[in-house]
Amino acid sequence: RYFIDWKNDVDSYFTIDATEGTIATNELLDRESTAQYNFSIIASKVSNPLLTSKVNVIINILDVNEFPPEISVPYETSVCENAKPGQVIQTVTAADKDLSPAGQRFSFRLSPEASNKPNFTVHDYRNNTAGIETRRNGYSRRQQELYFLPVVIEDSSYPVQSSTNTLTIRVCRCDSDGTILSCNVEAIFLPVGLSTGALIAILLCIVILLVIVVLYVALRRQKKKDTLMTSKEDIRDNVIHYDDEGGGEEDTQAFDIGALRNPKVIEENKIRRDIKPDTLRFPRQRPPAEDNTDIRDFINQRLQENDVDPAAPPYDSLATYAYEGNGSVAESLSSIDSLTTEADQDYDYLSDWGPRFKILADMFGEEENYNPDKVT
């Protein structure tokens, strides 16, 4: 019987037929991972298993060309703006992960899509290296700063493997000897005389101006808001900020002058007198005035009633007694529109008011018609 010594074959990549002694693979093998395996085979006699022998087996893994060649290292290729046609700007080499047999070579060429562009070309030196050459006279950074050159690399193994690698070529500013001076983005501004410090200073000035403009606009908005503040936005007493002209004697709802009254009166009476109450209040029943009641007594009676009435307005006005105002037949009795002299006034209309105003008509009418002795 044949056995594998498992102490040496830890990974168990192989197996052996116990009767025939045929060795076979147990798993897929990768030469790039392990190129050689070394283990032992034990043979024992069937009739006497104690009789054994051991032999070492070495298995070398042959390579299969499964990886394409690639550019060995990443290149940073640049070309001068004043480059001439046929100038070599970069030399490239290739590498292959496969175990290359003796004499294997790599070939370099442009990809078909780049062959028609007259910018750069690839020159194969046939020693596993190639050169990148220019095909035009001069390059402009303003027109194009970067060029992408696809290069195809093939190996000589079987089956043939190839890959396409893209080189990035940057246009730079150089002196007359071909020495690169600058390849940065700022180089585009250098021909007009702007250095890095000048660009930074310009950017700082722009930022400062923007900050000043923003602050100015914010201050203007704040000032405008303070100017347009109305009395509704102010929580203080509206008497202080009252800015409307009164409507005269009939304007009884202009403002609340309760603040000018005695504070004790305000505390006792919490009803606002500058607005109309929500609930309707029935008018007080007043005793009708007798025909011969004196006017002075009548007015004094009304004054006393209003003084003790908590719902009465905090001011005195004859308009509340209905003796004058809009709609009165006698119109206004105010002295504002009175004539300057009593002689200019005409009281003849009092005679048309009836017998109740006959005495007034005699008093203010023609003097010859008035006789005080006849007045009762």
Tally of CB atoms within 10 A around 372: 7
Q: Which residue has the higher pLDDT, 35 or 347?
A: 35
pLDDT-derived band at 278 (thresholds 50, 70, 90) equals low
| Tokens 């024992």, located at residue | 44
pLDDT-derived band at 279 (thresholds 50, 70, 90) equals low
Task: Please choose, from the candidates 189, 196, 101, the residue with its C-alpha nearest in 3D space to the C-alpha of residue 145.
Answer: 189
CB 4 within 8 A of CB 39: yes
Q: How far apart are CA 92 and CA 98, in angstroms?
A: 19
Out of 274-283, 310-319, 328-337, the most confident range is 310-319
* Tokens coding 283: 């008018």
Q: Is the peptide bond before 355 cis (omega within 30 degrees of 0)?
A: no
Model confidence at 320: pLDDT above 50: no
**By CB neighbour count within 10 A (0-12 exposed, 13-18 middle, 19+ buried), where does 370 fall?**
middle
pLDDT (0 to 100) of residue 182: 84
Q: How far apart are CA 58 and CA 162, in angstroms?
A: 33
Query: Mind listing the pLDDT tens digit for each residue in 183-233?
Result: 865 545 444 455 667 888 899 999 999 999 999 999 988 877 666 555 455
Q: How far apart are CA 328 and CA 149, in angstroms?
A: 107
Listed by start position, the domains of the chain span 2-60, 70-181
Model confidence at 90: pLDDT above 50: yes
DSSP bridge pairs for 202: none
Residues 6+ apart with CB under 8 A from 269: 310
Model confidence at 295: pLDDT above 50: yes
DSSP bridge pairs for 15: 24
Q: How far apart are CA 252 and CA 321, in angstroms?
A: 13
pLDDT (0 to 100) of residue 224: 73
- Helix/strand/coil for 309: coil
pLDDT (0 to 100) of residue 172: 93
Give the largest CA-CA distance in the chain.
180
Average pLDDT over residues 133-158: 91
- Cα 235 to Cα 181, 228, 231, 238, 241, distances in angstroms: 71, 15, 8, 8, 10
Query: Mind listing the pLDDT tens digit for each residue in 325-374?
Result: 455 565 655 555 555 555 556 677 777 888 888 888 777 766 555 555 65
Q: How far apart are CA 174 and CA 79, in angstroms?
A: 9
Pairing of strands 77-80, 162-174: parallel
- Please give the class, per CATH, of domain 70-181: mainly beta
* Tokens coding 43: 């043979």
Weakest mean pLDDT among 97-106, 138-147, 161-170, 239-248: 239-248
The percent of residues above 70 in pLDDT, for the chain, comes to: 64
The percent of residues above 90 in pLDDT, for the chain, comes to: 30
Model confidence at 272: pLDDT above 80: no
Predicted TM-score (pTM) of this structure: 0.43
* Tokens coding 132: 């990148």
